[in-house]
Amino acid sequence: MLDTVSVRADFPILAREENGKRLVYLDNAATSQKPRKVLDAIQHYYHFHNANVHRGAYTLAVEATEAYEAGRTAVAGFVNAWAREAVVFTRGTTESINLVASSWGRTNVQPGDRVVVTAMDHHSNIVPWQILCQEKGATLRMVEITEDGRIDLSDFGRALESKPKIVAFPYVSNSLGTVNPVAQLTRLAHAAGAVAVVDGAQAAPHLRVDVQAIDCDFFAFSGHKMLAPMGSGALIAKPALLEAMPPYHGGGEMIERVWDDHATWNKIPHKFEGGTPNVEAAVGLGAAIAYLEQLGMDRVAEHESALARVAIERLTQIESVTIYGPRDHRAGVVPFTYGDIHPHDLATILDRDGVCIRAGHHCTQPLMRRLGVAATARASFYIYNDVDDIDALVSALRKAGELFGVPA
């Protein structure tokens, strides 16, 4: 396990108390807290190097550009991208997937075509494809999940028989914690002639990602879930695909030449980064990656799996708790319900003890329907969580059980 005492000391917000109790932050799947190194890197950038990037001939602008592009180099190394040019900065997973749907999708999907997603996908990896399919007269096919919360590989195989153009799936489910066999799913998608789009929102922060080993065509992630600022993230794509794709947004910096009635495009990835980019996001993301790499992503993954195992073991001892998702091959996401207590009530009551959990459909309504619930409560772990946090969760839950008269 990680040395959480020293890790916690790096996160100023974790020193705050909630109702006189230690802050127990268990909503990391929604967003992570930020270490001092990331906050300092952003402040340092604004104190010493701020200017608009890629445009200026003066020293400050060159430094700002270098800081921005250093963030790209860090991302490329972090996910083992094919090249630096394979990294397009976006506002996060949602924008990355919309970019693929709008650019690759609009160019390549024709009436009558199929797009495949899974029933455990986040709305961000469903709705952009729905919009594309509606616009193009294509059909969206949702692959079912098994009883124990995995992608149903038989149904996945059946969905591929229709030779879809795009197959999209999550690396890690935010509502089940399932870690999917993404390299295998990509191989199957390619064999059916499709491009594979991996939603890496819950993977990049928590395990070692290697896009070349997965061999996916597109990989989307959000920086804010991995210690970096809000509004940071990237799309990683095979360079040949990016070269062939039309731009997503028109504007400054994404062009080569502009004539009265048409324009030609800048090189990748700049073709997809129209307008002044979020430089502080790239700087913060670079610092976040340095922090995570110093801990080691294998240790991060081990730490969170260990916490999930302990949490599941402890929660299972509470009579009326139901835990969702598979028992193994899972990340540090633990969704549950507690008797008939509404998850929102549970989250509000736990907050009195300083325990922050998420309650709701977690932007996975098709999945919730299949689970037969409107909402779940969810604890999700990161590098600064420890067994004390799980103890606090369990004791706050037992108190809630007493309050609502639910067997504990």
**Which residues belong to the active site?**
363
Q: Give how far Cα 179 sits from Cα of 304, 306, 310, 323, 343, Å.
A: 13, 15, 18, 16, 24
Among candidate residues 272, 290, 170, 171, the one with its CA nearest the CA of residue 228? 290
Our CA angle for 181, 184, 186, nearest 5°, is 105
Dihedral over Cα of 240, 245, 249, 251: its sign: positive
Q: Is 304 in the site for ligand C6P (CB under 6 A)?
A: no
Q: Which two tokens stand for residue 372?
A: 């037969």
- Candidate segments 195-203, 208-216, 239-247, 272-280, binder of ligand C6P by CB under 6 A: 195-203
Q: Report in angstroms how near the CB of residue 46 gets to ligand C6P at its nearest.
A: 23
Q: Which of 199, 217, 386, 389 binds ligand C6P (CB under 6 A)?
A: 199
Q: In this structure, are strands 355-356 and 24-25 parallel, antiparallel, or unpaired?
A: parallel
CB 350 within 8 A of CB 378: no
Q: Which of 363, 368, 379, 394 binds ligand C6P (CB under 6 A)?
A: 363
Strand partners, 89: 234
Closer of 93 and 266 to ligand C6P (Cβ): 93
From the centroid of its chain, how far is CA 199? Answer: 7
- Candidate segments 3-11, 49-57, 121-129, 283-291, binder of ligand C6P by CB under 6 A: 121-129
Can the peptide bond before residue 269 be classed as cis, meaning omega within 30 degrees of 0? Answer: yes
Q: Report in angstroms how near the CB of residue 170 gets to ligand C6P at its nearest.
A: 5
- Candidate segments 79-87, 255-263, 358-366, 399-407, binder of ligand C6P by CB under 6 A: 358-366
Closer of 29 and 279 to ligand C6P (Cβ): 29
Closer of 105 and 128 to ligand C6P (Cβ): 128
Q: Is 33 in the site for ligand C6P (CB under 6 A)?
A: no
Q: Give how far Cα 268 sits from Cα of 83, 128, 240, Å.
A: 11, 23, 10
Q: How many residues bind ligand C6P (CB under 6 A)?
A: 17
Closer of 103 and 380 to ligand C6P (Cβ): 380
From the centroid of its chain, how far is CA 165? Answer: 23
Q: Is 174 in the site for ligand C6P (CB under 6 A)?
A: yes
Q: Which of 201, 216, 310, 312 binds ligand C6P (CB under 6 A)?
A: 201
CB 324 within 8 A of CB 371: yes
Q: Is 362 in the site for ligand C6P (CB under 6 A)?
A: yes
Q: Is 32 in the site for ligand C6P (CB under 6 A)?
A: no
Q: Is 180 in the site for ligand C6P (CB under 6 A)?
A: no
Q: Is 358 in the site for ligand C6P (CB under 6 A)?
A: yes
Question: Measured between alpha carbons, how far is 393 from 354 in angstroms, rounded to an integer?
Answer: 9
Q: Is 170 in the site for ligand C6P (CB under 6 A)?
A: yes
Q: Is 325 in the site for ligand C6P (CB under 6 A)?
A: no
Among candidate residues 186, 395, 113, the one with its CA nearest the CA of residue 199? 186
Q: Which of 14, 23, 29, 406 binds ligand C6P (CB under 6 A)?
A: 29
Q: Report in angstroms how near the CB of residue 74 gets to ligand C6P at its nearest.
A: 18
Q: Which of 9, 10, 22, 30 binds ligand C6P (CB under 6 A)?
A: 30
Q: Report in angstroms how near the CB of residue 345 gets to ligand C6P at its nearest.
A: 19
User: What are the φ/ψ torsions at residue 399 (nearest 5 degrees)?
Assistant: -65, -45
Q: Report in angstroms how near the CB of residue 151 gets to ligand C6P at its nearest.
A: 13
Closer of 123 and 190 to ligand C6P (Cβ): 123
Q: Is 124 in the site for ligand C6P (CB under 6 A)?
A: yes
- Candidate segments 41-49, 80-88, 198-206, 400-408, binder of ligand C6P by CB under 6 A: 198-206
| One character per residue 70-109, x = contact with ligand C6P (rule: CB under 6 A) | ----------------------xxx---------------
Residues 222-281 that bind ligand C6P (CB under 6 A): 222
CB 85 within 8 A of CB 239: yes
Question: Measured between alpha carbons, how far is 362 from 272 in angstroms, rounded to an integer?
Answer: 29
CB 71 within 8 A of CB 88: no
With 0-12 CB in 10 A as exposed, 13-18 as middle and 19+ as buried, what is 20?
exposed
Question: Measured between alpha carbons, how far is 187 from 337 in angstroms, rounded to an integer?
Answer: 36
Binding site for ligand C6P (CB under 6 A): 29-30, 92-94, 122, 124-125, 170, 174, 199, 201-202, 222, 358, 362-363
